[in-house]
Structure 1
Amino acid sequence: MSASDRNARLIDVELDESIGRSTPDVEHERAVAIFDLIEDNSFRPAGDDAGGPYKLRLSVVDSKLVFAIARESGEAVVTHILSLTPFRRVVKDYFMICESYYEAIRSSTPSQIEAIDMGRRGLHNEGSQTLMDRLAGKIEVDFDTARRLFTLVCVLHWRG
């Protein structure tokens, strides 16, 4: 692996905190996603030859998803603004099934929990693929990175 490949990664992720906090379950998902994302990711803004590692600030502004990317030093690299419209249905469905999942954990059988979790993972994969498609030509990410980023998009969308 070359030095530029090793540096094609995120070292810090910040969510816009002006929206406030959510439920404990959602906050747990956020914390785990950020931790996992920083531990293992592949992230490279298209056309950035100077390379990373990068810092990412995610926010929602006027119903748009904002990816503000900077270098480790804090120097701005690029900001991408994506419409949330392509995510609305999958995020809505994902949160509905997450609510069912959290309720099932408290009161259902293991087989019922597993069935709901399979649906939850399927929707999460669909949202992750949508995110990868929307980032194509802007930011190169692998599927695992897209999954963790989609979790954060959901958290922001839920709050916003």
Structure 2
Amino acid sequence: MTDPKPLRRLVAVTLDEASIGRSSPDVEHERAVAIYDLIEENSFGPKGVDGGPFTLHISLAEGKLAFDIKHEDGRQVVTHMLSMTPFRRIVKDYFMICDSYYEAIRHATPAQIETIDMARRGLHNEGSETLKERLKDKLDLDFDTARRLFTLISVLHWKG
């Protein structure tokens, strides 16, 4: 028998369709994988709120990142607004390196692909650490959850 999944977790994640537009197939794939992985395994909960599980709706509102958190049954928990300013350079650099990576996997040698992928992962980790730091007083989340959320934020920022 397996242990039931903990309550301090996300069971649904949505992105505001008005905040995103058409993306390349590579970006759409990253978004779909991040959402799937996030739902499958995460550690997430608003500080000072008992219980769960939670749903999360991510959007851009007036240039700010909005995390709208609800209980699974739809009861409102909290909406956190974050400035996008700390993420702009990281996201810009991340997408530049992602473009290089996607091009490399079509034409480059395995060594070149590995080098670009290491740089991509480094920027992704930097963005994830920035997100964790910005949310430390608002949310409890682990690094893997922050990584997947950073992917989704990148998609919003890229299109927003």
Shorter-chain TM-score above 0.5:
yes
Structure 1 residue 62: Cα displacement = 1.0
- Is structure 2 residue 27 aligned with structure 1 residue 21? no
Superposed CA RMSD in Å reads 1.3
- The answer to whether residue 37 in structure 2 is matched with residue 36 in structure 1 is yes
SS at match of 1:26: helix
The Cα of 1:61 is off from its aligned counterpart by 0.8
Give the structure 1 partner of residue 119 of structure 2.
119
Three-state SS of the structure 2 residue aligned to 1:48 is coil
Distance 1:52 1:123 in 2: 31
1:48 is matched with 49
Unaligned runs of 5+ in 2: none
- Partner Cα separation in structure 2 for residue 144 and residue 104 of structure 1: 26
Structure 1 residue 77 corresponds to structure 2 residue 77: yes
The Cα of 1:90 is off from its aligned counterpart by 0.5
- TM-score when normalising by structure 2: 0.95
Whole-angstrom CA distance in 2 between matches of 1:44 and 1:61: 22
Shift of 1:17: 0.6
Write out aligned runs for 1:124-135 (5 A). Answer: 124-135=124-135
Alpha-carbon distance in 2 for matches of 1:21, 1:37: 22
Note if 1:149 corresponds to 2:158: no
* Number of positions where the alignment pairs a residue of Structure 1 with one of Structure 2: 157
Residues 25-50 of structure 1 show CA distances to partners (whole Å, capped at 9, x for unaligned) of 1000000000000000000100002x
For 2:127 and 2:115, how far apart are their aligned partners in 1? 19
Q: CA deviation at 1:21?
A: 2.6
- After superposing on structure 2, the runs of 4+ consecutive aligned residues of structure 1 that deviate more than 4 Å are none
Deviation of 1:159 (Å): 0.8
Q: Deviations over 1:43-99 (max 9, x none)?
A: 0100002x1000000001111000000001011100000000000110010000000
Partner-residue secondary structure (3-state), 2:140: strand
The structure carrying a bigger helix percent of its residues is 1
Per the normalisation by structure 1, the TM-score is: 0.95
Percent identical: 68
| Cα shift at 1:20 | 2.3
Q: Which residue of 1 aligns with 2:60?
A: 60
